[in-house]
Amino acid sequence: MSEYKKIENAKAELVCTLEGEDWEKAKKTAFRKLASKVEIKGFRKGQAPKNLVNKYINNQEVLLDAAESLAQKTLDEAIKEHRLTLIDRPELKVDEMQDDKCVLTFTCPVLPDVKLGDYKKLKYKVEKVKVEDKEINDEVAKSLDRKADLELKEEGEVEDGDTVVIDFEGFIDDVPFDGGKADNHELVIGSNTFIPGFEDQLVGMKTEEEKDIMVDFPEDYHAEELKGKPARFHVTVHEIKKKVLPEYNDEFVKELKIDDVETVEAYESYIRKNIEQRKQDQATQDAENKLIDDLAGIVEVDIPEVMVESELQSMVQNYETRLMQQGISLSQFLQLTGQTVDGLKDSMREDAIKRVKINLGLAEIVKQENVEVTADDVSAEYDRMAELYGLTSEELHKYVPEDTLLDDLKLQKALDLLKNLK
């Protein structure tokens, strides 16, 4: 038997009474456990008569052991009975402990009270998209550029878009600096891979021409000793190569080896569909983001710090995963940027608070609209995620608990409900 009482925002009490058959069984089990440790002269350990063992065992120890053995089960049942969501570990206090009953009080951090505005007035509108001819032409130009050949210029000067092969050596106050020299370096003019102003000053040079180029290192340059410094680069141009684009025709399209696309007309139709889909996906995402932002604007809640910290921890873990996909560890990233984990969390805090607020708003909609998730919904989501990550549904269960997935699906259904309000 349990009683629920809200004692303040995001905190509640569960008062649970242990009695009857379960309490008697727990006491007997506790007694046997303690008795097995008692040593009495003349008897093998744990084999002495009960009436004799009673003299060596404190009844309060039996009751306490019995209470501890039932505490977790009792808490789980009370949470289920009162449909609570705990956001942190509860505190346990034993209020009464007698032979016939035991009263446990759990002080539970729970979801905070949420005041939700009129969410039914929120608007979800996906803007219609249009593909301009210029977008198609630009995409065609990129395809041609990717298939372009480089042809050596026997005569002529360096022009924007050309590829040059150069030797260069950099000096600061006429003293060479580390990393400022290279031979036969290939550089695309206009790629902006060098210090600002460097590539521009190569334009107009001829093969085997030498020249001093004057530039200033940016103030935010990665090498501390070079930030903001004026530098001179002595440059020699060895080769100038111009880009020669292939002819745009059906043969070019066939070489791209796109299924069912073999003509210029079909290729441009293919490009149009891809651009349209990409823009439509972005428009849908933009509409969802606006809806979520609008929802956050009508949610009033005093968010417990433990929920913010939990969200921050999750965000840092996700950030670490993305870094690892790029081949860098979180510790390496922090070292390179001069940050700490706490500093990273501080930069994420505002976003974390917003995320928690949105989830609480959606959870309140779940409650008000009686949103339900079926076993088929859960099974289908496991199958979808398993296919996405290349796992079996059974393997995915090890990584994603069903309760977590169930909560996520409820929030998603609440968001879908918002999208479909008229």
Query: How far separated are the first and last CA of the chain, in Å rounded?
Result: 44
pLDDT at 47 over 80: no
Q: Which tens digit of pLDDT belongs to each residue from 310-335?
A: 999 999 999 999 999 999 999 999 98
Superfamily of domain 273-419: Trigger factor, C-terminal domain (1.10.3120.10)
- Structure-block tokens of residue 33: 């456990």
Residue of higher predicted confidence among 313 and 32: 313
Least confident of 27-36, 237-246, 299-308, 372-381: 27-36
Chain centroid, CA 179 distance in Å? 37
In this prediction, residue 59 has a pLDDT band, given cuts at 50, 70 and 90, of confident
Q: Which tens digit of pLDDT belongs to each residue from 230-240?
A: 999 999 999 99
pLDDT at 340 over 90: yes
Fold classified for 2-110: Alpha-Beta Plaits (3.30.70)
| Bridge partners of residue 261, in order along the sequence | 258
Averaged pLDDT score across all residues of the chain: 92
Q: How many Cα neighbours within 13 Å face the side chain of 132? A: 3
Query: Domain extents for the chain?
Result: 2-110, 149-244, 273-419
Q: What is the pLDDT of residue 8?
A: 87
Is residue 169 classed exposed, middle or buried when 0-12, 13-18 and 19+ CB atoms within 10 A define those classes? middle
Query: Do the domains at 149-244 and 273-419 have one common CATH topology?
Result: no
Q: How does DSSP assign 332-400, residue by residue?
A: HHHHHHT--HHHHHHHHHHHHHHHHHHHHHHHHHHHHTT----HHHHHHHHHHHHHHHT--HHHHHHHS
pLDDT at 50 over 70: no
The CATH classification of domain 149-244, taken from the options 3.50.50.60, 3.10.50.40, 3.40.50.2300, 3.40.50.620: 3.10.50.40
In percent, how much of the chain has pLDDT > 70?
A: 95
Q: Which tens digit of pLDDT belongs to each residue from 67-109?
A: 999 999 999 999 999 988 899 999 999 999 999 999 999 999 9
